[in-house]
Amino acid sequence: MSPLLRPQPRSGVLDIKAYVPGKSSAPGVAKVFKLSSNETPLGPSPKAVEAYRAVATHLEDYPDGAATELREAIGRAFGLDPDRIVCGAGSDDLLNLLARAYLQDGDEAVHTTHGFLVYPIATLGAGAKPVVAAEKHYTADVDAMIAAMTPKTKIVFLANPNNPTGTYNPFDEVKRLHRALPPHVLLVLDAAYAEYVRRNDYEAGIELVATSENVVMCRTFSKIHGLAALRLGWMYGPAHVVDAVNRIRGPFNVNAPAIAAGIAAIQDTAHQDYSREHNTRWLAWLTEEIGKLGLKVTPSVANFVLIHFPEEPGRTAKEADAFLTSRGIIMRQVAAYHLPNALRCSVGTEEANRLVIEALGEFLAGAR
């Protein structure tokens, strides 16, 4: 039957390469260390788990569609007006809502070569065209992003820090990018890994949102807060953007257990500090130890490292991935991010991190 005789998705939808999440199993291996999705190895705050469980007695009730208590808790934690916060089913939800609200057929949205894959998916899903700006040293290049803009550009997506590279742009650079944008172009600052960054010249973007009409910051509970399974994210934006997103979001896009766990998690700063300290220590250790093995690591400020493998038979990323998987270590292949010979490895528990170094050493020794 001719395809024209059946329902047709809007233009762009069939150009989307569906997002492939990190692998989570290693067949035949007793103990598996999943380091493929940048989840925290320390889990969520026990208080968040307790709050989640308490909701189980009221599953018949709809959640508060406005997530008011959660927005108030986030507002208190960051000193923000809760009316300028929108919560979503993960920050993915918010990125898609922003694309739907601000892009239409024929528009363009800029993202960077190794930028987070949800940006082109959200852009194409909204009928618009993703435009790729080249990176420099695996880092978003503000000049290239500015050069990639055309009169059709409506959104510029910047992951800061970026996944899967782990690199970041100093706040001065973000402000320079913003200054170059016409006022009708929305700058989306995706700060999913902000809590892990320990750099004096980094800012997630709160100040820029507070002082502009065209900047939004997205955050997630999936990383340092350890609530990826619940799907919870939030954005802070100008009142008019918040209004637009609120009009199109699902009326109950955030579920009740996520709201309860999110409130407890954002208040448990001790657990956040503990998770950040673990990450700071083991990120540095992994970077150094992988370097000592002779592999290149892109300097990361997030909770993962990007490891580059030699272009030699027996030593490639694909072969390393197969070897590591046989040892129960699951990393993320990043060919879809135009990094065919690299693997992304999340910072794990001490046991997992030590095993990574041991197994990589064995892999490279075997390859000789």
**Residues found near ligand PLP in the complex (CB under 6 A):** 38, 90-92, 116, 159, 163, 190, 192, 220, 222, 228, 233
In the complex, least distance from residue 117 CB atom to ligand PLP, rounded to whole angstroms:
9
In the complex, least distance from residue 115 CB atom to ligand PLP, rounded to whole angstroms:
8
Q: What's the CA gap between 72 and 86, in Å, rounded?
A: 11
Q: Which is nearer to ligand PLP, 233 or 328 (CB)?
A: 233
Residue 259: which of 104, 51, 100, 93 has the closest Cα? 51
Q: Which is nearer to ligand PLP, 222 or 279 (CB)?
A: 222
In terms of DSSP bridges, do strands 215-220 and 233-236 run parallel, antiparallel, or are they unpaired?
Answer: antiparallel
Per the DSSP assignment, residues forming a β-bridge with 136 are: 139
Q: Which is nearer to ligand PLP, 90 or 238 (CB)?
A: 90
Q: How many CA atoms lie within 13 A of 331 on its CB side?
A: 32
In terms of DSSP bridges, do strands 139-140 and 85-88 run parallel, antiparallel, or are they unpaired?
Answer: unpaired
Q: Which is nearer to ligand PLP, 214 or 303 (CB)?
A: 303
Rg, C-alpha atoms of the chain: 21
Helix axes of 46-55 and 256-267: crossing angle, nearest 10 degrees: 150
What would the two tokens of residue 292 be?
Answer: 């000592």
CA distances, 5 to each of 1, 8, 15 (Å): 7, 9, 20
In the complex, least distance from residue 220 CB atom to ligand PLP, rounded to whole angstroms:
3
Residue 328: which of 311, 351, 310, 307 has the closest Cα? 351
Output the residue with the shortest Cβ distance to ligand PLP.
90
Say whether 317 sits in a helix, a strand or coil. Answer: helix
In the complex, least distance from residue 232 CB atom to ligand PLP, rounded to whole angstroms:
7
Q: Which is nearer to ligand PLP, 116 or 363 (CB)?
A: 116
Q: For residue 199, count CB atoms less than 10 angstroms from its CB and return exposed for 0-12, middle for 13-18, buried for 19 or more.
A: exposed
Q: Which is nearer to ligand PLP, 108 or 190 (CB)?
A: 190
In the complex, least distance from residue 367 CB atom to ligand PLP, rounded to whole angstroms:
30
User: Cis peptide before 161, with omega less than 30 degrees from 0?
Assistant: yes
Q: What phi, psi does 311 have (nearest 5°)? A: -85, 50
In the complex, least distance from residue 345 CB atom to ligand PLP, rounded to whole angstroms:
14
Q: Which is nearer to ligand PLP, 120 or 327 (CB)?
A: 120
In the complex, least distance from residue 311 CB atom to ligand PLP, rounded to whole angstroms:
27
In the complex, least distance from residue 27 CB atom to ligand PLP, rounded to whole angstroms:
24
Q: What's the CA gap between 105 and 190, in Å, rounded?
A: 23
**Helix (H), strand (E) at residue 148:** helix 142-148
In the complex, least distance from residue 304 CB atom to ligand PLP, rounded to whole angstroms:
9
Q: How many CA atoms lie within 13 A of 318 on its CB side?
A: 8
Q: Which is nearer to ligand PLP, 331 or 364 (CB)?
A: 331
User: Cis peptide before 170, with omega less than 30 degrees from 0?
Assistant: no
Q: Which is nearer to ligand PLP, 38 or 287 (CB)?
A: 38
